[in-house]
Every structure is written in structure tokens, then in C-alpha cells.
Amino acid sequence: MKLQDKVAIVTGAASGMGKEIAKLYAKEGAKVVAADLNLEGVETVVKEITENNGVAKAVQVNIAEQDDIDNMIDTAINEHGTLDILVNNAGIMDGFEPVGDVLDERWDLIFDVNTKGVMRSMRKAIPIFLDKESGVIINTASTGGFNGAHAGAAYGASKHAVIGMTKNTGYMYAQKGIRCNAIAPGGVATNIASSMESVSQYGMERTKPVHSVMPRAGEPDEIAKVALFLASDDSSFVNGTVVTADGGWTAAF
């Protein structure tokens, strides 16, 4: 098994890509701390893992709160004595608002979850990884992290920032045994749209031409397989970069 006895945290693990990553990691031998704001949902995922002889624990986490992040990582340490893999997958969408329509409240929430939550989780994990001279960080970015027509201004900016942090972190700690990479999924069949409120019709119309050339939507388990590669020794020389998983969508641009 590719992750035998590794300890992994997966955020946003109650559904979609996070759920499939948690399940696949456990199948590959990892001890998984599955974190999500939706406690009932993540407990269901953990139940499925344990019924299949995997090891997992559910933790309720609001990724926008430092105390919750600290508790999440402390739980991994308290349960298993260490942390090997951190998957920052939790994220929310904006309402496709162009910058002229963005409210401060929406901007702050998007960045608190999508960007600051990622930074805070990495910041908490880095001393653990430095102490053991090994560790893997995988951030869920987005094709919207390097293109401008996949969502609104806030979401796009938040994911551009995640890519910037990923590259910086991969370089800064490259000689310390730590790898940090990101996955940029294209359109994937998840429930992230449920986080959208007050959708901008103008913004949606402007992005329609780009979405119309998407070859197909991906499945969450397809992204999980990329996350497994990046977490395993198969990607030992892959660091500070972004793996695009979009079925060829952005190859057109």
C-alpha cells in the first residue's frame, strides 16, 4: 500500500473530492483525520472507512477559525503521535461576482476559508514536518487559480493566492524534506455549488463561453487519484508545482 502507516489530515472530507481522498488514503494504509464543518457528513465517511477496515477519525472544523485548525492538527498528534500528510481541500465558491459587485463580507469569507485557512493549516503543520524532516502538503487550488473566467473575482483571487503559497512553500522548504504541491481541478461533480449565494447573473453570463468548451466534468475519485500520487513516494521529485486535472479544458487557452 502506498501510504502504509502514514498519518493524513484531509479537510473538506464530508463530501466530494475530500471524501474520496480520505477513503482512498485509508484504503492505501493511511490513518486519516477527516475534517469538515459538516460533522454528521464526515462521521458518515469515517464510518464507511472503518467498516472497510480502515483507520479514521472525524473532526468538526471551521477552517476559517485558528482554534479549530489547531484542534484538528493536535487531534492527529494525540491520536497517532505524528502527522505526515496535510491535504487542504476545504473551500467555498463565490457568487461569480465581478470585482465591481464584490462585497467586503463575501471577499473576507472567501479568503478566510480558501486562502487564510490553507495558510494557517500549513503554518501549524510546518514545525511538525521540520522536526521530523519530512512531510507532504497538498492544496486544492483550481483552474480558476490561473485563469480569469472560471468564477468570480473573489474565488479566482483566492485560488491564485493558494497557488502562490504552494510554490513559495515548496521552494522554501525543499531542502528540509517537505514537499508542497497543488491540484487544479477543472469542473468536478461535487456539491461546492451549494456554497454559492446571490449569484451574479452578469458574472455567470460572462463565464458561459468558457464553461461551454469544457470536454467533460470530472469525478471526485479522479482527483483523489492525483492526490494519492502527490502524497506518495511516487512523486518524490515533484515539489512546488500545480497538477492540472481538467480533462484538457485549459489546454484550449
Nearest-angstrom CA–CA distance, 229 and 2: 9
Decide: 126 and 174 in contact? Cβ < 8 Å.
no
- 82 closest CA partner among 118, 50, 125: 125
Active-site annotation holder among 25, 155, 171, 173: 155
CA atoms within 13 A on the CB side of 176: 17
Asked about 173 being catalytic, the answer comes back as no
What would the DSSP string read from start to end of 138-202? EEE--GGGT-SSSS-HHHHHHHHHHHHHHHHHHHHTGGGTEEEEEEEE-SBSSSGGGG--S--HH
Strands 135-140 and 85-88 turn out to be parallel
Known catalytic residues are 155
